[in-house]
């Protein structure tokens, strides 16, 4: 799903890698242009462009540290800061040049954009002021742009690029927190259901098993003294055990009887939270409770498979009478067969006189279809 944090992280990082690679090409191209116009020596240009490219090579590693929430990469920040300073010193922006050196003014703001991911904002602001102060002597020497406009460009870059980088990181962390929140809610729901089931079993069996234990102990003591009374106690034990077994079976059957409307609402919420659009058309008012429960199990299993194994962005659920069709557009590659969940569900539905199928359609979708006796 598009909302999964790992997918969002890869998209953001690859996009920024592409921007950094483009900046590196601009550095090399700018240095070559200065060499071609005899405005800078070849060793000078190679040294400056080499430092700029080395900075671009370190930058993606700092980004990945930030997106992995690792400790602050002090060494990488220091190395990239030194490379930035050397680049600014070796590759002049103005001062006697009749054309600008492309992308020169990106080095400082790019380093600030990495620093803002790890350092307190006060430190980042201080470094930003130092960076702007360092380039003012160069901006005074330019000939192709008014000094005030050049300074405004430097200040704007020193603000906008770091803020944009911080916003990208904030966006990814927001997506990750939302995803973690959904997982935590699902885990909490499972834990609460387990506690409720354990509590119900304790209420059902606790008293009965205690009485059975006492009566069995009494019967054992009476076996050599009063065989008739011991037999009566054991008959009582057998009766209590039968009642307890009936109560447990009723409780388990009650847990297995899912509510179709509640399941549809829960599935819609889960799929939409995962970034997919879910549409539901259900007409099942005339179905028997058993048929509604079977279809609810199909809805749950189908949604689980979509979340686990699919990249679907659109899911359509349609129930007409005793027939359920669940379509999604997340089919990618050949389908190897039904999993254990669908296999068990198919056997269960077949035992009730229905049928279940799961297969790709001619339109490139995946269709899960179940038909149960109404």
Supply angle C-alpha 171, 65, 85, rounded to 5. 105
For the beta sheet containing 277-283, the strands, ordered from the edge strand earlier in sequence to the opposite edge, are 277-283, 314-320, 323-328, 366-371, 355-360
pTM given for the model: 0.49
Q: Which of 53, 63, 58 is nearest to 26 (CA)?
A: 53
Q: Could you tell me where the DSSP H helices lie in the chain?
A: 5-36, 42-67, 74-90, 107-115, 121-139, 147-222, 227-256, 260-273, 289-309, 340-351
Q: Decide: helix, strand or coil at residue 335.
A: coil
- Here the tokens at position 264 are 């549809």
Token pair 């080499």 is found at 50
Domain range 184-256, CATH class = mainly alpha
Q: Which of 316, 321, 308 is nearest to 370 (CA)?
A: 321
Angle (deg, nearest 10), helices 340-351 and 289-309: 170
How many Å apart are CA 303 and CA 308, to the nearest integer? 9
Token pair 């990082």 is found at 13
How many Å apart are CA 134 and CA 59, to the nearest integer? 21
- Here the tokens at position 175 are 């997506």
pLDDT at 97: 46
Q: Decide: helix, strand or coil at residue 134.
A: helix
Mean pLDDT by 10 residues, the chain (374 residues): 67 87 84 77 83 89 81 81 83 48 69 86 85 71 64 81 87 78 69 71 68 77 79 80 74 66 84 81 84 86 81 88 88 56 82 88 87 85
User: Is 73 in contact with 65 (CB distance < 8 Å)?
Assistant: yes
What is the phi-psi region of residue 323: left when phi exceeds 0, alpha when psi lies from -120 to 50, beta otherwise? beta
pLDDT at 200: 67
Domain ranges in the chain are: 5-179, 184-256, 260-371
pLDDT at 1: 45
User: Is 322 in contact with 372 (CB distance < 8 Å)?
Assistant: yes
Q: Which of 32, 94, 89, 20 is nearest to 57 (CA)?
A: 20
- May I ask the CATH architecture of the domain 260-371? 2-Layer Sandwich (3.30)
How many Å apart are CA 322 and CA 237, to the nearest integer? 44
- Here the tokens at position 204 are 């059902």
User: Is 274 in contact with 313 (CB distance < 8 Å)?
Assistant: no
Q: Decide: helix, strand or coil at residue 336.
A: coil
- Judged on CB neighbours under 10 Å (0-12, 13-18, 19+), 29 is middle
DSSP string, 39-108: SS-HHHHHHHHHHHHHHHHHHHHHHHHHHTTPSP-HHHHHHHHHHHHHHHHHS-SSSS-SS--TTGGGHH
């Amino acid at each position: 799903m598009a909302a999964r944090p790992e997918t969002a992280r890869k998209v953001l990082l690859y996009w920024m890698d592409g921007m950094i690679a483009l900046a590196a090409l601009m550095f090399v191209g700018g240095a070559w242009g200065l060499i071609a116009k005899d405005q800078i020596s070849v060793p000078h240009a190679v040294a400056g462009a080499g430092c700029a490219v080395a900075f671009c090579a370190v930058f993606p590693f700092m980004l990945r540290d930030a997106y992995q929430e690792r400790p602050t990469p002090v060494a990488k920040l220091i190395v990239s800061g030194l490379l930035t300073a050397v680049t600014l010193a070796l590759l002049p922006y103005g001062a006697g040049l009749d054309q600008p050196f492309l992308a020169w003014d990106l080095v400082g703001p790019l380093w600030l954009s990495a620093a803002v991911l790890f350092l307190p904002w006060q430190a980042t602001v201080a470094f930003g002021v130092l960076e702007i102060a360092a380039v003012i002597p160069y901006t005074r020497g330019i000939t192709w742009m008014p000094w005030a406009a050049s300074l405004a460009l430097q200040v704007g870059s020193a603000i906008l690029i770091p803020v944009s980088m911080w916003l990208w990181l904030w966006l990814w962390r927001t997506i990750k927190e939302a995803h973690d929140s959904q997982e935590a809610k699902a885990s909490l729901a499972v834990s609460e259901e387990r506690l409720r089931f354990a509590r119900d079993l304790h209420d059902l069996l606790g008293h009965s098993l205690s009485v059975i234990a006492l009566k069995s102990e009494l019967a054992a003591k009476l076996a050599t003294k009063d065989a008739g009374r011991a037999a009566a106690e054991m008959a009582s034990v057998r009766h209590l055990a039968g009642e307890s077994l009936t109560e447990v079976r009723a409780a388990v059957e009650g847990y297995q009887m899912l509510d179709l409307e509640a399941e549809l609402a829960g599935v819609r919420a889960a799929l939409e939270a995962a970034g997919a659009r879910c549409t539901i058309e259900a007409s099942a008012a005339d179905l028997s409770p058993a048929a509604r429960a079977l279809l609810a199990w199909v809805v749950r299993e189908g949604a689980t498979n979509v979340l686990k194994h699919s990249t679907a962005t659109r899911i359509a659920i349609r129930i007409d009478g005793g027939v359920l069709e669940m379509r999604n557009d997340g089919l990618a590659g050949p389908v190897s067969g039904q999993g254990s969940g669908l296999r068990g569900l198919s056997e269960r539905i077949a035992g009730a006189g229905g049928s279940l199928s799961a297969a790709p359609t001619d339109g490139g979708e995946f269709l899960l279809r179940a038909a149960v006796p109404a």
